Amino acid sequence: MSIPDHARANFETLLRAAADGNLALMESVNAASGTPRYVICAVGRDGEAFVFTPFGHLAERNPYEVYVPPEP
């Protein structure tokens, strides 16, 4: 399984944000279902305002039960 370029670029952005101390965990709401989500965001600035760029959410349950690793 090959990781697409956009996913790799987003991951690199997350690594830079983490190294700079510019990550946040925000409570948000899933647009489709209305259920709460805990979203990992990079934090930036637009003048005096903070800008939060969502990258993904934390697993709601045990992540080992939610995700299946790729086949070798």
Q: What is the pLDDT of residues 7-49, one digit of tens each?
A: 999 999 999 999 999 999 999 999 999 999 999 999 999 999 9
The confidence score (pLDDT) of residue 1 equals: 65
The confidence score (pLDDT) of residue 37 equals: 94
Question: CA 19, CA 10: separation in Å to the nearest integer?
Answer: 14
The confidence score (pLDDT) of residue 61 equals: 87
pTM above 0.75, yes or no: yes
The confidence score (pLDDT) of residue 17 equals: 94
69: Cα within 13 Å, side-chain hemisphere: 3
The confidence score (pLDDT) of residue 66 equals: 85
